[in-house]
A and B are shown apart, each in its own frame.
Chain A
């Protein structure tokens, strides 16, 4: 990797320092939240409903101004970084009006508006970016479809393509796996891994606990403030989760024999649509593909050395 590429990579950062948000109606959504993320990470933002996840997202996107504290993106204040189109976001499916008369490529082209002149007439480079992005999420064949005619997973990929077309280095995803089939979920995760390799910060708000250890290397755990943040294995402990969720989580305890003697055997956990979070012996996290995950962890620790 060239030095300039490394420099560019190092520039990508997200620093939240002492952020408090009090809404005009007096509701304090966040109190003194602090954490920092460096280039090349997939970080989960985990917390119950009403814990301030969306408020935190809104402060990063400049939709709400913190009552106290600062958010800095790539070393710049939010407004300035937005002007450079550094932040891209993928909205929740419920926030989008799927009846809207726009096609798949229309939506992805919207990611290019910031780079176009004020009449928003697409140039060759814009068309090319849209095509690249759609091909990258395997949605190019669907480019002329109206957005309501897509499956849940396809809809998600269209908005991911918009973020790609925009070229943001900090990408915020709100509940990316709601209504998404498992196969698409894997495809999205693979793409997020690629983006992480290229130095992007992927910040994922989710309540789907089981998928977090599968694809996130860091976690920010919040409940009105940041309870803990850092590497997934350190933060995602049964104690921390209990602190974040209180009694909200449903817990299944298996027969002791299953938990104690699972190494080298299959542990079978069946749930409905969402991935379960499984703690094994000594409270360590269980992964779908243990060896692959350990290899990844080894590689990452070598990189950091």
Chain B
């Protein structure tokens, strides 16, 4: 057993576990809001749409995070624009916008000589993060977690009943954009750990796991975060021993948690429901 935890001794592994835990927890927090608001696809869309932002930021020399953030917001707002001004439904509009932006990013990337690795953007490189990236992740990730936790009641209200928010003159539009902004930031932060492709899973699965276990929101947040952090640490350790893709291992463990929960969760699991009948 001690051999399993041996990697804790290496400083690059300690960094990876810290960053991974924070990223996992942060994505898990947001995932609760996303699945309740029906925005699971939004995470998918924004995470793909940030690619051109990253490349353009690299070309112009501004921090990659800012480029990614702006591209993510652009994706979300242009989707809303297409929906409001045409007969196209929102999910369809999103499908067109984000794949278009991702393709634009790929083309841009292939025409830009750089030392960026497409692999690292797509699949993450948590074991090779630099000092700068480490502190950037801690800072931005911590900010996302803090704001989400502080404003969780308002964010929950605009997921549950946006009409009630409006009728009380709460800034529902601002809150919507805030949630979008937090999502875009979280994706940027998580890119380092798991990459564009797998961040989608981190933004959906933990919330689903928690939704199966409880029907109180604060408990859902706690379960979601807890399961994500455990899954991240376990995934990183497994990837070290199996010498396999780190992002892949993390998401695999999360998926395993989901399927176990689906079966054995006390009230909403398949077994419990069968027994009740």
Contacts and interface: CB of A to CB of B under 8 A. Distances in A.
A120 B219 CA distance: 18
22 contacts: A24-B84, A61-B166, A82-B169, A85-B168, A87-B167, A91-B164, A97-B36, A97-B160, A100-B160, A101-B211, A101-B215, A102-B160, A106-B217, A111-B164, A113-B153, A113-B168, A113-B170, A114-B170, A118-B154, A120-B153, A166-B168, A168-B167
A228 B77 CA distance: 42
A96 B157 CA distance: 12
A111 B153 CA distance: 12
A85 B219 CA distance: 30
Nearest to B171: A118
Interface string A56-99: 00000111000000000000000100110101110100011100
Interface residues of B, number: 28
A230 interface: no
Main secondary structure of the interface of B (DSSP, over half): helix
Given A24-B84, A63-B166, A146-B215, 10 more contacts: A25-B87, A85-B168, A91-B163, A102-B160, A103-B216, A111-B164, A114-B168, A119-B150, A120-B154, A168-B167
Nearest to A57: B163
B161 interface: yes
Given A85-B168, A113-B153, A101 B163 contact: no
A162 B164 contact: yes
B214 interface: yes
Interface string B57-100: 00000000000000000000000000011010000000000000
Contacts of B164: 89, 91, 110-111, 162
Interface string A236-274: 000000000000000000000000000000000000000
B220 interface: yes
A172 B272 CA distance: 40
Contact of A61 (B154, B156, B167, B215): B167
B169 A101 contact: no
A110 B163 contact: no
A36 to B, nearest CB: 21
A-B interface, 8 closest residue pairs, ranked by CB to CB distance from nearest: A114-B168, A120-B153, A82-B169, A146-B215, A83-B169, A101-B215, A101-B217, A61-B167
B83 to A, nearest CB: 10
A18 interface: no
A169 to B, nearest CB: 13
A159 to B, nearest CB: 9
A120 B175 CA distance: 14
B163 A63 contact: yes
Q: Which of B87, B151, B169 has the most CB of A within 10 A?
A: B169
Given A119-B150, A120-B153, A146-B215, A91 B161 contact: yes
A84 B4 CA distance: 60
Interface of B: 36, 84-85, 87, 150-151, 153-154, 156-157, 159-161, 163-170, 211, 214-217, 219-220
Contacts of B169: 79, 82-83, 85, 114
Nearest to B38: A97
Contact of B166 (A82, A101, A110): A82
A133 to B, nearest CB: 14
Nearest to A144: B216
A148 interface: yes
A253 to B, nearest CB: 41
Nearest to B267: A146
B268 to A, nearest CB: 9
Given A24-B84, A110-B160, A110-B161, A62 B166 contact: yes
A249 B1 CA distance: 75
A91 B164 CA distance: 9
B29 to A, nearest CB: 14
Contacts of B219: 101
Contacts of A24: 84-85
Contacts of A168: 167
Q: Which of B153, B156, B159, B165 has the most CB of A within 10 A?
A: B153
B217 A102 contact: yes
B167 A89 contact: yes
Given A89-B163, A162-B164, A113 B154 contact: yes
Contacts of A63: 163, 166
Contacts of B157: 110, 113
Nearest to A166: B168
Nearest to A61: B167
A113 B37 CA distance: 19
Contacts of B161: 91, 96, 110
